[in-house]
Amino acid sequence: MKIIIAALAALCLVLTTTVVEAALASTCNNLAKGRLKSLSGTNAVSFSIFNASSTPKVINWIDYKGRAKTYAFLRPGEGLEQQSYQTHVWAVLDQVGNCVNVYQLGEYNLNIRLSD
C-alpha cells in the first residue's frame, strides 16, 4: 500500500510540474508574440521581487502596446519594490533575454521570490 501511495504522489508531482511548465511556456510564448500587454489601470498595487537565484534577472514592464520597458537588473541577493496598477504585466527575464516568468497584477500586492 505504501508503494502505491508513493507512486501516486510521484505521479501527481510530475503531472503538476508538467502543467505548470506548460502554462509558463504558453505565457512566455504569448509574451514573445506580443499577445500580452498592460491595460489602463486606475487601482494602484505594489509588488516586490527578490532574486534568490544564483543568476541575474531583468525585470520588464510590458507597456500598453505590448513592448518591454526595462525597470531593473537584479543581481543575486538584490530586490525591487515597485508601484504599479492592477492589470499591468511584468516579465522576468534571464540575463540573455529568455523569459523566466510573467506576472499580471491583480487586486492584491504581490511578493515574488525568484529561485533556481
In order, the DSSP letters of 16-66 are HHHHHHHHHHHHHHHHHTT---PPP--SEEEEEEEE-SSS-EEEEEE-TTS
Question: What's the pLDDT tens digit per position in 55-85?
Answer: 999 999 999 999 999 999 999 999 999 999 9
Write out the H or E segment, with its range, that includes residue 113: strand 110-114
Q: Name all domains of the chain by residue range, CATH numbers in brackets.
A: 2-114 (2.60.40.780)
pLDDT in tens, the chain (116 residues): 445 444 434 433 333 333 333 334 457 777 777 778 888 878 888 889 999 999 999 999 999 999 999 999 999 999 999 999 988 889 999 999 998 988 888 877 878 898 98
Q: Could you give the angle at the alpha carbon of 72 between the alpha carbons of 25 and 33, nearest 5°?
A: 30
pTM for this model (two decimals): 0.74
Whole-angstrom distance, CA of residue 91 vs CA of residue 59: 6
